[in-house]
Structure 1
């Protein structure tokens, strides 16, 4: 196999002819009549024009009795058919492969797609035209022209894709287009291989702060103090070389007939639940700068930040769906389904989940409250859309199930508003929104603060790191500015 040119991308492994490969032009052997009719359908506009001109010249030669004109007409009509036959009988065995670098990118970032075409036949190819299918949101469809590829040789090309919207986007199949030297016939064949580009939400680096009611993953806290006492797992494990013989569990050894030891004490990991409100009617607008996309990106940033600090993180939506699921608990060392539950693995799982999260049809957050009924004490960080008083009361009850609670409330009036006819208007047009709607979120915020939530209101253009520090300042003062203690402190400073 030929090596790539110095300084180029690392070589792509050639795919076997049966996987992602294609015979050019045909693939598998076909029946003669049906395959040739298919090849005739590949005549280009030039080829069809030659056939039509040849037939017209032959008819005129017959009517006018001009044998010389008949020869010209036959030449014009036969030339495209000869090109079809030659192209149809030419058999190139070509294998194609694709590599994404990287296969997972944040929104508004670029990824590079490397394509490789290998000629696995014993004869050189002619002119090859490549076209890869990509969704419109990733950019224009890339097209390449490859010169003659020697037997056993290969060609490599690459292109860039970029998406401002998160999601999973299919790439492929790769299409190979063959043409004859005269441009009379053009045949297109597709490879079978597909790939998927995952565009995850953007993650912002957050400053280390200490929130109300939180306990560091392995730091000093009441929860960790209890964990230091430890307790042996009720299920012993098999003896491993180097285990302390003082930990041998003799009762299990006698039961199973092999040496069994008690498991080591497991330190307690502080837990954090990230609650994401996905209700469709709670957010107005769409696109990368919408309130909902801000909430998704913020949830990804907080989840990653808490995992880096040693927390066991769970993502919960208003529908009651959690990642990891009930069988995985909060992840961490007790989640074998997530590759051992390392912070890196958990971050990838959460980012992949947030890459495809969409609006729900729910109207309340009662399902999230039910999902937290069995949850142990821990920190909850919620990203909420518009709330009325009834929904705020439901969110206030969630505070009873947690050790600490921080809510980022996105008031749609600050992002996009509606006039009396329901038409979307730019944010900041206060006359477009009735006064009752303008005060609805404010009353909900006061209810949450009275229930013990640390509430941070989010407006369009706010940066998450600054809001994260603001939540820390609220914790330091122990009360928000709208609570009685906060108002007393504000009055003292004036």
Structure 2
């Protein structure tokens, strides 16, 4: 805890006297006055003792409080919305004297629950105490925990001081991430990097593309057939890792979503973007998050499991604080996709008008594959139950326009399961559904 000068410390100690301490101080002053009036020296000694006891307790407490340290640990630092996180507090007595009664109170935002309070009886010299409490929030965001407030008392209860530490920690409540099934998307390996088929076409199934030996190369990779052919030491070229790109486009327009709080269509879309983004990163995609405002969050450019973990953390941290935008279209996102939209494009969009729909459709031509999750936002407010026929016809027309542009369209209604919806993006299932639809049309034509 931060130290103060002696004068301010003494003043703080006097202000912290409890009712008992003030009573002793008043009784001691009365005894000293009576000893002067009555001429009793023994009464003077009693009065001085009564006055000295709370003053000594205040001085001792002021000095002791500088020798108390605290620490806080969060498990985990990122907690999904609706799930609990545990906060561990540790108080160390780094002085040579034991502490008195301690009361701990940690500051937490009201959305995480009530302020936790703990009472510690006594901490021995060089000892410590650990306590913990749980927090939970249904709302995404970053929440400040702390600083910790510590109330110190002396063993006799004469003085009580409340001081706050300066350290605080941040708990990030991220969107819920659902485990998605692995599906084969049409054109999913289009993008950046050398493909497996290209490597086979250049080198053949039983041969490898050699290169000259370099200092530090593993001798086990020496290609003896090429060495004999070229007259110099040749090694097998390392297989280039396959790096596919993906873009997750998230519609954050306030006019495009319905509902309030955690049950709104916007929160469902944010959780959907988190689930799909994490799923693609774990499958090896270099995934970026793109919003309708043009804000792009790229993934790590290095390989390895560490970079994947960092990219997932960056994605979730960004989505944890994402808010509605006040724009009316997807124009800024279109500009970003025109500069580099190759690879897989997954769009999560809310309500679209005809103009926005006409501009979204051509973006398919810039991607190797395109999947659109179109939220039927009326089902988040119950409007579909009031105007079912007109809403159905408008929604089907919009879905038809996107399918004609080459998108794999996945309509989404409130209450539906994201893994089940994502499973419909499987290219094999899509081909089977298309074949069944074509055969059904053919049967109808034949019967007619």
* TM-score of the two chains, using structure 1 as the length reference: 0.72
Residue 447, structure 1, aligned to residue 401, structure 2: yes
Change in 2 beyond 3 A, CA 1:308/1:40? same
Deviation of residue 169 (structure 1)?
1.7
User: Which residue does the alignment assign to 1:488?
Assistant: 441
Asked if the contact 1:142/1:159 (under 8 Å) is kept, the reply is: yes
Match of 1:19 in 2: none
1:97 has 2:50 as partner: no
Residue 383 of structure 1 deviates from its aligned partner by 0.6
Contact 1:202 1:300 in 2 (8 A): yes
> Is the aligned partner of 1:371 residue 2:336?
yes
- Separation in 2 of the partners of 1:227 and 1:280? 47
Does the alignment pair 1:476 with 2:431?
Answer: yes
- Cα distance in 1 between the residues matched to 2:329 and 2:142: 28
| 1:172-214 Cα distance to aligned partner (Å, 9 max, x none) | 2122111245655431122222222222211111122223332
Which residue is 2:416 aligned to? Answer: 462
Distance 2:312 2:251 in 1: 20
2: CA distance between counterparts of 1:373 and 1:475?
27
Give SS of 1:178's match.
strand
Counterpart position of 1:15? none
Matched, 1:200 2:174: yes
| C-alpha distance in 2 between matches for 1:176 and 1:385 | 49
1:160-239 equivalences under 5 Å are 160-180=134-154, 183=157, 185-215=159-189, 224-228=196-200, 239=215
Which structure 1 segments of 5+ residues have no match? 1-21, 247-260, 325-329, 417-425
Counterpart in the other structure of 2:114: 140
Secondary structure of residue in 2 paired with 1:373: helix
Q: Which residue of 2 aligns with 1:345?
A: 310
> 1:154 — aligned with what?
128
Shift in alpha-carbon separation, 1:376–1:291, aligned structure 2, 3 A = closer
> CA separation of 1:145/1:280 partners in 2, compared to 1, >3 Å: closer, same or farther?
same
The Cα shift of 1:157 comes to: 0.9
Question: When you count helix as a share of all residues, which structure comes out higher?
Answer: 2
The structural deviation recorded for 1:36 is: 3.1
Corresponding position of 1:320: 294
- Is the CA contact (8 Å cut-off) linking 1:92 and 1:119 kept in structure 2? no
Whether contact under 8 Å (1:454, 1:480) holds in the other structure is: no
* Partner SS state of residue 137, structure 1: helix
Q: 1:280 to 1:126 in 2, by over 3 A?
A: same
Question: Which one has the largest radius of gyration?
Answer: 2
Q: TM-score, normalised by structure 2?
A: 0.78
- Structure 2: gaps (5+ residues): 204-211, 224-234
Deviations 1:127-151 (CA, angstroms, capped at 9, x unpaired): 1111111221121111111121111
Q: SS of the residue aligned with 2:338?
A: coil
Among candidates 357, 360, 371, match of residue 325 of structure 2 = 360
